[in-house]
Amino acid sequence: MSKLYFKYGAMGSSKTAQALMCKFNYEQKGFRVFLFKPIVDTRHVEEGSPMVWSRIGLKSECYEFTKDDNFFEICEKYQINQEKDVIIVDECQFLTKKQVEQLKYISMKVPVLCYGLLTNYKTELFEGSKRLVELAESLMEIKCICKCGRKATVNVRYVDGKIATDGDEIMIGADERYESMCYQCYEKLLNEQKNNEKTAKNT
């Protein structure tokens, strides 16, 4: 039975790899899979074609969407409404609330599987992730670990070598800009940074 799935995890938890493996498994069984990613994710393009690319090297061509796109219109354009059609969305945290609601309706006819982050670098829910938590029939956490061995839940952003606590919500990057860690390690490093800044001001 088709439904809306939300599979989430911190950065580096293999979300994209699992999305691509899911695509492969469906295609092996004769399904027609439509893989989407947000156009703001500009990291991977090959010969002019947008790509979804995982850290372990799995990749696939995909379709792109903007925050202004209507998924009802997208489904009409590609005739996505047949018995063996499947939609997979990578980096689904960048969906708008309205787009998630559209996908919820579409999922009553074809399976819709969304992979992405739950929270931003401020530990706040993304708009798309929040609505997916509210509407998805299936929620699954994809776990990864912090350097200390605890479960990583925070997507820490670094700017000029320091943990960022403000700025734009969207800043595309990978290991050079982000690190996933547990909340304990995040709080420890953040407090150390604040203390160092206070010491620097007083000297």
For the annotated catalytic residues, the residue numbers are 91
Q: How far apart are the C-alpha atoms of 11 and 57, rounded to whole Å?
A: 16
In the block, which residue shows the tokens 């819709």?
112
CA distances from 104 to 18, 97, 200, 203 (A): 21, 11, 51, 56
**Per-residue burial over 122-158, b = 16 or more CB atoms within 10 Å of its CB, e = otherwise:** eeebbbbbbbbeebbeeeeeeebebeeeebbbbbbbe
Q: How far apart are the C-alpha atoms of 132 and 158, rounded to whole Å?
A: 27
Which is it for strands 59-61 and 49-53: parallel, antiparallel or unpaired?
A: antiparallel
> Which amino acid would we find at residue 82?
Q
Reading the block at residue 16, the tokens are 């994209």
Q: How many CA atoms lie within 13 A of 57 on its CB side?
A: 0
Does residue 168 sit in helix, strand or coil?
coil
- Contact yes or no for 115/7 (Cβ under 8 A): yes
